[in-house]
């Protein structure tokens, strides 16, 4: 047996979808208001994942102007067919359902091919006879179902009317459809129960891609809706893949709570083995709950150390809480692949070339509080216990000017350790925005010019913020509860916390030596 740890991709990486080409697996996640859109991962063993880029790297592919928190790009599906990769998704804020394609998984993707079918969570199914089907949610007068049409894969044109093919097993919000063909049956898998604590994966089957579909008598085939809160919660939105050896695995998302019914890291990608019973129905993890420590058979050799290591761009991070360094510095002429902007960035506000080894951010009128694209760059928080540090040089002109380090969830929920002006003096303060409330710490007046070291450390329940001229002079500026950056303490969000850098107003911020370190601190 091979041992591994869940989540296999920690942090805000929800709605996973997976496909295989030969011995290579590829996985995508939702990205919502963050750009570039749809993170793209590669693995040879389903446990160790390397982020190789993003699917949507141009504004023409992902218009995100003024989209609300958790708007933007929803629930992608990735499929491989006859030498070409396809990713379908929803731009919830601008345009609806579309797909893009590429013949080179490491290259550029096409412009969006729009499909005039409503709903969300679109998925492509390529049948053996050459027909291509496009499924998504379908709105009913008092509920939701799965709708499907046949399309021309070259143009996206609908070749049939949209028809309801399944109304689910009885849970609310049937969505995230994926169709598979196995042993003469067409299996239709869906997410039900809403993407919160009642989440689940269900499945049905029929003899035609149009149905009728019979619900699995064992539904839901995956859920933690009745488990204790020390287990992963909100488990659902699954996709399946067969290995070259013929084994079946499911990727799905779930959350890790900090305390009763609270989470702030977002929905994270997890993995479980699937067996097929005598009646031809899938059984996930032998019907047992999904655990952090898992085991399966016939994974590639490199997974057998159980490390669950992820490789993402310029840095390595483990899936657990191990005390291993994970650097995310600014290298060469571009940010590490794990980094994102908020909505479509104005790239004239960013520079990695004016001063080698430093990221320059130029502030603007757009602030972290706004549904806009403030000058911000960040990476997902992936561990409860972590430390993030960065050196900052900046000379703000007034009290509306600031640059610094932020823990960001939405425009209404973020903690900002920043350098600004108060009463004409350059100082560091901790600003906290929670809903309609704002607070500031007592200003820490900076007596000397030059670079300042900013740091945030965290555990499950608290963030702690420090500033100083070096490691030996770090001064605590305040703390903030993780509770107040939790999804459950705001209007329902589908994202998680980022750690990043920002500049606002008439302020240039020069950042150097960003480091993210998981583990106890």
Which residues have a catalytic role annotated?
15, 175
* Of 77, 69, 123, 117, nearest in space to 93 by CA: 69
Cα–Cα distances in angstroms (integers) from residue 194 to residues 75, 87, 108, 218, in the given order: 14, 23, 34, 19
Beta bridge partners of 376: 502
* DSSP character at residue 22: T
3-state secondary structure of 159: coil
Residue 191 has φ and ψ, to the nearest 5°, of: -100, 135
CA distance linking residue 43 with residue 20, whole number of Å: 10
* Of 125, 120, 122, 98, nearest in space to 110 by CA: 98
* The residue to which tokens 């520079």 are assigned: 351
| 287 Cβ neighbours under 8 A, 6+ residues apart | none
Residue 262, both tokens: 């609270």
3-state secondary structure of 303: helix
- Do residues 378 and 500 lie in contact, with contact meaning Cβ atoms separated by under 8 Å? yes
Burial 136-157 (b: 16+ CB within 10 A, else e): bbbeeeeebbbbbbbbebeebe
- Do residues 45 and 99 lie in contact, with contact meaning Cβ atoms separated by under 8 Å? no
- Do residues 262 and 285 lie in contact, with contact meaning Cβ atoms separated by under 8 Å? no
HEC per residue, 53-103: EEEECCCCCCCCCCCCCCCCEEEEEEEEECCEEEEEEEECCCCEEEEEEEC
- Residue 152 C-beta-side C-alpha neighbours within 13 Å: 6
Residue 405, both tokens: 């380090």
* The residue to which tokens 């799965």 are assigned: 146
| Torsion angle (degrees, nearest 10) of CA 263, 226, 253, 272 | 140
Residue 206, both tokens: 């029929």
């Amino acid at each position: 047996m091979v041992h591994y740890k869940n989540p296999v991709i920690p942090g805000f990486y929800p709605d996973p979808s997976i496909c295989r080409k030969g011995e290579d697996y590829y996985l995508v996640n939702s990205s919502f208001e963050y750009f570039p859109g749809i993170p793209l991962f590669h693995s040879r063993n389903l446990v160790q994942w390397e982020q190789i880029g993003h699917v949507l790297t141009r504004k023409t592919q992902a218009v995100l102007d003024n989209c609300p928190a958790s708007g933007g790009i929803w629930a992608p599906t990735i499929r491989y067919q006859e030498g070409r990769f396809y990713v379908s998704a929803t731009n919830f804020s601008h345009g609806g359902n579309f797909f893009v394609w590429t013949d080179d998984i490491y290259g550029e993707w096409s412009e969006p091919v729009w499909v005039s079918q409503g709903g969300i969570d679109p998925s492509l199914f390529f049948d053996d006879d050459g027909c291509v089907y496009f499924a998504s949610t379908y709105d009913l007068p008092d509920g939701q179902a799965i709708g499907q049409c046949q399309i021309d894969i070259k143009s996206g044109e609908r070749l049939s009317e949209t028809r309801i093919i399944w109304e689910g097993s009885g849970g609310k919000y049937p969505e995230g459809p994926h169709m598979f063909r196995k042993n003469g049956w067409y299996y239709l898998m869906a997410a039900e129960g809403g993407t919160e604590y009642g989440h689940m994966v269900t499945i049905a089957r029929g003899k035609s891609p149009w149905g009728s579909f019979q619900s699995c008598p064992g539904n839901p085939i995956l859920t933690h809706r009745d488990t204790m809160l020390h287990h992963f919660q909100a488990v659902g939105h699954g996709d399946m893949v067969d290995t070259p050896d013929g084994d079946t695995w499911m990727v799905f998302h779930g959350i890790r709570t900090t305390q009763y019914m609270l989470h702030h890291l977002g929905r994270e990608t997890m993995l479980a083995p699937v067996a097929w019973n005598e009646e031809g129905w899938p059984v996930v993890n032998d019907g047992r709950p999904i655990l952090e420590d898992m085991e399966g058979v016939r994974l590639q050799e490199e997974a057998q150390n159980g490390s669950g290591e992820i490789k993402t761009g310029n840095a390595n991070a483990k899936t657990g809480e191990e005390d291993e360094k994970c650097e995310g510095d600014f290298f060469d002429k571009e940010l590490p692949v794990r980094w994102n902007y908020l909505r479509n960035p104005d790239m004239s506000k960013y520079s990695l070339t004016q001063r080698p080894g430093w990221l320059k951010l130029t502030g603007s009128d757009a602030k972290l509080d706004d549904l806009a694209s403030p000058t911000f760059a960040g990476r997902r928080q992936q561990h409860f216990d972590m430390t993030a540090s960065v050196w900052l040089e900046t000379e703000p002109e007034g009290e509306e000017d600031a640059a610094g380090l932020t823990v960001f969830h939405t425009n209404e929920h973020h903690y900002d350790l920043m350098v600004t002006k108060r009463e004409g003096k350059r100082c560091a303060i901790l600003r906290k925005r929670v809903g309609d409330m704002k607070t500031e710490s007592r200003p820490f007046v900076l007596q000397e010019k030059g670079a300042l070291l900013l740091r945030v450390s965290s555990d499950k329940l608290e963030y702690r913020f420090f500033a100083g001229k070096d490691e030996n002079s770090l001064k605590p500026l305040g703390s903030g509860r993780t509770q107040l950056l939790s999804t459950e303490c705001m209007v329902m969000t589908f994202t998680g916390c980022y750690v990043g850098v920002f500049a606002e107003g008439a302020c240039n911020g020069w950042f150097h030596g960003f480091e993210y370190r998981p583990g106890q601190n």
